[in-house]
Amino acid sequence: MTEPVLLFDGFCHLCSGVVRFFLERDTLAKLLYCPAQSPRGEALLAQHSIATSRADATVILMDNGKIYFESDAILRALSYLPWPWSWAWAGRVLPRALRDSVYRWVARHRYRWFGRRDSCFLPRPEWQGRFLQ
């Protein structure tokens, strides 16, 4: 697998919304997507020794042998989208501690603010091929 993979909390409405945002703008299909709670997601987490609890609290980008968490994962994933979204990678100039503290604050409250699904996010039929099975 050569494409970057974005692992996300498939039960979280906010996380699923972020994935839809990427799917709608990733017109060249540069990213693959995988719910962290799926069998494939759990296998990827185990393969890279990432605790399931960490995956439930963050978006993870696996890209070219590197693993990005929290704000780095979002910024790096945005770099794969067409302009103007690709310029978000410049957000790295902000200190990671600041970016990640905001990220973790939103992550802590995401279920209360956006809700939680009873079952994992299912993509539209035209997006099926962009999800790891």
DSSP 82: P
* Mean pLDDT across 40-54: 86
Q: Has residue 125 been placed in a domain?
A: no
pLDDT at 9: 87
Q: Has residue 130 been placed in a domain?
A: no
Return all residues near 79 (Cβ < 8 A) that are at least 6 apart.
86, 88, 89
Work out how many domains the chain is built from and give that number. 1
CA gap 74, 78 in Å, rounded: 6
CA gap 86, 75 in Å, rounded: 8
**pLDDT tens digits for range 85-98:** 787 777 778 898 99
CB 59 within 8 A of CB 110: no
Q: Which domain holds residue 65?
A: 5-118
- Please tell me the least confidently modeled range out of 13-17, 46-50, 77-81, 104-108: 13-17
**pLDDT tens digits for range 104-116:** 899 888 878 888 7
In degrees, to the nearest 5, what angle opens at C-alpha 74 toward C-alphas 124 and 104? 110
